[in-house]
Amino acid sequence: MLVIPLKRALSGAVCGALWLAELNAMFGSHHQFSEAQVAKIPPKTRTAIVKENIHGVEIADAYRWLENAESQETSDWIESQNEHTDAMIASLPGRGELKRRLTELMRIDWLSEPTMRNGRYFFMKRLRDQELSVIYMRKGLQAKDEVLIDPHPMSPDHTTSVSIRDVSEDGTILAYAVQEGGQDEVTIRFFDTDRHEHLPDCLPKARYWDISLKPDNTGFYYVRYCPDGARVYYHPMAAPPESGAADVEVFGQGCGPDKIIFANLSDDGRHLLITVWHGSAARKSEVYYQDVAKKGPVLAIVNDIDARFIGQVAEDHLFLQTNWEAPNGRIFRVDLNNPKREHWRQIVPETDAVIEGFSLAGGNLFVNYLHNVSSRVKIFEPDGCHLRDLPLPALGTVRGPFGRWKNNETFFTFSSFQTPPTTRVYDVAKESVEVWWRSEVPVNSEIFDVNQAWYESKDGTRIPMFLVHRKGIRLDGSNPTLLTGYGGFNVSLTPWFSASAALWVEAGGLYAVANLRGGGEFGEDWHNAGMLEKKQNVFDDFIAAAEWLIEKGYTRPEMLAISGGSNGGLLVAAALTQRPELFQVVVCTHPLLDMIRYHKFLVAKFWVSELGSAEDPDQFKYLYAYSPYHKVKQGAKYPAVLFITGDSDTRVDPLHARKMTALLQSATASHKPILLRYHTRAGHSGGRSLSRLIEDTTDEFSFLFWQLGVSFPPPSSPDSSPPSGF
């Protein structure tokens, strides 16, 4: 089989039949290229080397020009890459059946947990025949659904979505966000739920973290991210909407662009609680409060301890979760009438399980723990007396609970790898549990086998990994395996149902989730062991997971795929550049890749506390040592790679995927495809209709199955069909 080293021309003037004719003219009559062969040649990318000396190290960047998203040349290059990707995967065998099955798994009714106000319930719902989620209201738990905000007419391509941000105490005002594409920047609008009409108040498009309406509906507090940092504002309702001229800055002076600020009113509207995170790592956070009812000053609760603090207020007490001198977390109760530290009272001590979070409902504390990466929820009285555990159906993940201090109802959603989500309502007074909504996914959970394995990383640290596969798996190295992970920002990957994982298992594959250091699965010590100068531990953990799967006979390199997004995109890119021979195929979504320049773009200053910055000579050393973009070697044999990003990603700049695609296409000697799927109307936070999401997932799985040699649909099996009733 002839390998063609040439690149398809970028310019639209030399393409299609002209490019085919040019190729054949170059090689003469001894070899004539077909259109099918030419379609496999990636677009040519111009190089323009930029050299710079950073802390004594000369760095050359051939694709710096691709950082400019506004240039026509970049736009043409993106279009050419998308055309190339389409040509490579659009007609792959089994694609139709794959899309059909994904449609069955993904096109289902979906509901969010509700927000409760004054006997009304506000929630998001998407019916199976809809493209986007709609905001609904019920005037009673079992009342009829009323449509409040339907985003479908807002954009012809269904890339504009809505989400609930807050609801007034009496349930008459809805604050909601309008999001264009997948941008983090949104517009905030306000809707009268009785009259079914919009109010004149509106916050212009920006990055907002919190909206808190006052109980008397006279105004609201909000946090907006500005170029010089986040700020807390107060907006009086019915004030002139233009440019927020009537808004008053409440807090934020002196907080730079590396700080993240949250601000929320207590349920009774008396206390405003403000939290400042020192970057996304939040190794330090500050907590302030203001007695709004007395128009008091903003006072510090804690701002001098290098630890994470997260609080919630109920009446005159602040409940404060922290890892201060407790890496797994503990909770204090603080009397806001006497908030000095010597009067704090520990009510929930540290245990061997990690506190993921807590909520206040029915006069009690609901504390969500992780024990060996599985949820447990314990209920405490305000003084810390343990009442009972929330009844859970099995080992898995709990989202929530969500409730209010003076309401007995609290909602939580449970799911696991083999169990689609079910939202239940727990009545604190009655100690009863009822189903609010159950996901009706046509999947046969009886075929799933879920295990948690432990393996040793490079330095001997034991790492857990979930293995999901059909029952009766054979350990002969033949199983197509999809390995994923995250390993950063204190994020925990816990058991949760996904249509993608279900399809992978149905196709006879092994789905593996490694719980790497850098996450929050085992507390702050686990997080610290995978950040800054210890980030290489995360990559070592992931590579060790792949080696363990191969050693134990689950798979072999030719059958091993890896996938990750955002920080997980950095993870899989580091793995493919450090150990390219270990993997057959990689899906890398919205990734960080150029670790020398990442901090210069969008909101990346938030991540310096977690990852470091090349501005610092010591941090530059370890960043440069693992930066995937700088680890690519010309002539190395790299796995097949599909990069996914989009223009509406205003969190991780898509320049990373653009540059890395071009570099790998020019460098690889394996002749495996390096593809880019680039969305112009979607980004980090979504922006895709359900149909688009199904289409894109079909692309990803077509690519994975193609490279692993997996046929779809798999051979029929008596246990593969969905259970009756679906």
Contact 313, 289 (CB under 8 A): yes
* Residue in 84, 235, 317, 684 annotated catalytic: 684
Tell me, letter by letter, the H, E, C secondary structure of 530-543: CCHHHCHHHHHHHH
Q: What is the CA radius of gyration of the chain?
A: 26
Residue 32 CA to residue 20 CA, distance in Å, equals: 9
Residue 645 CA to residue 588 CA, distance in Å, equals: 9
The token duo for 609 is 């506390």
Instruction: Indicate the DSSP class of residue 156.
Output: T
The token duo for 480 is 């197509």
Contact 177, 162 (CB under 8 A): yes
* Residue in 566, 627, 648, 685 annotated catalytic: 566
Q: Max CA-CA distance within the chain?
A: 91
User: What is the amino acid identity at position 491?
Assistant: V
Q: Residue 229 in 3-state DSSP?
A: strand
The token duo for 383 is 């003084």
Q: Residue 25 in 3-state DSSP?
A: helix
Residue 638 CA to residue 577 CA, distance in Å, equals: 8
In degrees rounded to 5, what are phi and psi of residue 571? -60, -55
Q: Residue 165 in 3-state DSSP?
A: strand
Sign of CA dihedral 175, 207, 68, 597: negative
Residue 598 CA to residue 608 CA, distance in Å, equals: 9
Closest to 215 in 3D by CA, of 165, 275, 266, 263: 266
Residue 565 CA to residue 615 CA, distance in Å, equals: 25
**E strand segments, 603-700:** 640-646, 674-679
Closest to 659 in 3D by CA, of 11, 46, 6: 46
Q: Please confirm, yes or no, whether 684 is among the known catalytic residues.
A: yes
Strands 560-565 and 481-484: parallel
Contact 77, 659 (CB under 8 A): no
The owner of tokens 């969305």 is: 679
Instruction: Indicate the DSSP class of residue 686.
Output: B
The token duo for 578 is 């450090």
The CA-atom distances, in angstroms, between 238 and each of 202, 215, 235 are 10, 16, 9
Other residues' Cβ atoms within 10 Å of the Cβ of residue 106: 19
Reading phi first (left if > 0) and then psi (alpha if -120 to 50, else beta), residue 635 is in: left
Residue 208 CA to residue 189 CA, distance in Å, equals: 12
Residue 643 CA to residue 656 CA, distance in Å, equals: 10
User: What is the amino acid identity at position 408?
Assistant: N
Positions marked catalytic? 566, 684
